[in-house]
A and B are shown apart, each in its own frame.
Chain A
Amino acid sequence: MKRVITGNQAVAYGVILSRVDVISAYPITPQTTIVEELSELIASGRLKTKFLKVESEHSAMAALIGASTGGVRTFTATSSHGLAYMHEMLHWASGARLPIVLVNVNRALGAPWNIWGDQSDSLSQRDTGWIQLYCENNQEVLDTIVQAYLIAETVRLPVMVVLDAFVLSHTAEAVEIPSIEEVDSILPPFCPDYPIDTQEPRAYSVITTPDYFLEFRYKVQKAMEQVPEVAKKVDDEFKARFGRGYGAIERYGKEGAKVLLMTSGTVTSTSRTVIKKLVEKGLSVAGIKIKRFRPFPSEEICEAIQGAKKIAVIDRNLSAGVGGIFAQELRASLYSREERPPVFGFVSGLGGRDITPELIEEAIQYTMEHPQPEGDIVWLGLKR
């Protein structure tokens, strides 16, 4: 069935199709219509899911930690300040090895107040032990939620599915919605190894001394290292079933291009049209879309950039004092390689300003004209 739906409605469909048992969430713009949609579905009896309407995001994540420990499939959605408020519990969820799925609608953090798209919220959580998957369109949002449960429940780590504020969350486009039976055929019910069972009492998340804590974290890292293989298998199976796959990254544009442009989220869609035009003009450019940010797809990227002389990265986020976070991660990935093309780190579109085709073209032109960037950050569209 094909329907014209917003990104937030696509999230709700993802939740229905994944047969989530417990939702716990707190409203925040621009995530709000997700919780409204889910409340409607539950109230009308179309969705048999328990929805805890908690008093904060911190409690939303804590409740899911309780529910997931209890052995059921869980979901929440948030944005910006809400995600930041959950921060402590994000660490707890990954440390407790709970396969919770969270949708984050990217939004800037105050001060000053801003409700528009900016990746600084999710990227601020990059060290919490969560897998992070970024989406380019509403179809990908729906599909990624189903994939997220498959990955999370295999490696026993939580997954954050990320979409752009308004450009996806509140914008409608055609989405193919699979039937729940079709999804059932690839997503089995959640079967945890050690759910709460009073017949076999256990103590969960017991205080652990320096003698063992390192080993607990080592296991989290080992689980993260399984993700590329597991996610690929999940994506391949998904593609075989539904004809749609995404990969950890996607390369598009000219084969053997000298200049590459790395983007994530909806900026990729705009970049596709710009690059198509430039290639038609005879320029040697290609694009790389980053879908999986954690674990960072270093292997996949290094393979995809072979032969490139320069890499431009557009970051809709800022780690003040360093620069764009995708650029920073890319530089770290390249360091151990023999082939180390210069990385041009463009920062643009913070707080929801449009990253227009003109700006993207400007970034590509700049990269072509300069042998090296004039600093770790090249500001794009900055009013001076």
Chain B
Amino acid sequence: MNKVKVPIAENLGHGHLACAGCGAAVAMRLTLKALGEKTVMVFPASCWSIVPGFWPYSSYKITAVHAGFVTGAATASGVRAALDVRGDDETLVAVWAGDGGTFDIGLQALSGAAERNEDLLYICNDNEGYMNTGTQRSSATPLLAWTTTTPVMQPKENPKKDIMAIMADHHIPYAATATIAYPEDLIRKLEKARSIRGTRFIHLFSPCPPGWKMPSEQTIKISRLAVRSRIFPLYEIENGRFYTIQEETRVVSVKEYLKIQGRFSHLTEKDIEMTQRNTDDAWERLQRKARC
């Protein structure tokens, strides 16, 4: 792989309100570096409606359009249409939505935009729950995880929704997973996405110290362990068909990943074994897709 240059420009300014150790803050900083100033970013409701601060201030140094929770992809479609009418085909229109705004309440608008193949870069900042409202379950919350609406007596009963498969089945030109422990990979994928026209989707995995009940200094480590344990493999899908896996050879067991997060502390050995089996199965399926 060619060495990736990290642009020097800082487009996430000082004074933002992200929690200590916020994985998404690292991701946002890198993302705005990679995408540059000629970007309009649409923010449906998520932590990122709050993080840049309150009116009349904003930590974003790019154009930011805050939007209704459901509307990330729809609002961005409208911004794109306006720029097209104005003859501006250079400016990138991006969306930065949470997993709630993507997997759940915003899925209809996202599906609509993807089906129309709107010229957008949609970034789903997945912290596996409704973290802005204080850690409630979303359909991105993993099986058996604790949240405030899936207490340990009855932890999450359903597995995480496979958003990448959903997006692949919309046959969009580009979809990729990424996470902050692999910044060059993230930046390369963002730059690649920027160079493509049509709907592009980045599934960004962002550890959340308060929501995951993990020490704030472990963010990068957990991001890395998610990839090494194959809980969150790094891969790309082109045109819904061609899979490329960025294989991490230093594989660890899922236990290594689970044990440092309080949200999994109630898991029994049996639960962990099941999680390992599920992860192995998913990895097997992904490899099969990548082989054809």
Contacts and interface: CB of A to CB of B under 8 A. Distances in A.
Given A201-B61, A203-B52, A207-B49, A59 B71 contact: yes
A88 B57 CA distance: 25
Interface in A52-70: 52-56, 58-60, 62-70
Contacts of B37: 198, 201
Contact of B77 (A66, A88, A197): A66
Nearest to B61: A201
A197 to B, nearest CB: 7
Interface string B54-80: 111110111111111011011111111
A8 to B, nearest CB: 23
A58 B83 CA distance: 21
Contacts of B112: 54-56, 59
B115 interface: yes
Contacts, number: 162
A70 B78 contact: yes
A66 B65 contact: yes
A44 interface: no
Given A70-B83, A198-B40, A198-B63, A58 B70 contact: yes
B39 interface: yes
Nearest to A24: B78
Nearest to A50: B81
A67 B67 CA distance: 12
B109 interface: yes
A160 to B, nearest CB: 18
Contacts of B79: 66-67, 69-70, 196
Contacts of B82: 21-22, 66-72, 195-196
B109 A59 contact: yes
Given A55-B109, A55-B112, A205 B81 contact: no
Contacts of A201: 37, 60-64
Interface stretch (B21-29, B84-92, B192-200, B260-268): B84-92
A66 B67 contact: yes
A320 interface: no
A209 interface: yes
A366 interface: no
A336 interface: no
Interface in B88-124: 91, 108-109, 111-112, 115-116
A335 interface: no
A222 interface: no
Interface in A149-204: 195-198, 201-204
Interface string A17-57: 00001101000000000000000000000000010111110
Interface of B: 37-40, 42, 49-50, 52-58, 60-68, 70-71, 73-86, 91, 108-109, 111-112, 115-116
Given A58-B71, A66-B81, A201-B63, 20 more contacts: A54-B116, A55-B115, A62-B67, A63-B78, A63-B81, A64-B78, A65-B68, A66-B80, A70-B82, A70-B83, A92-B68, A196-B83, A201-B60, A203-B58, A206-B64, A207-B49, A207-B54, A208-B55, A209-B55, A212-B55
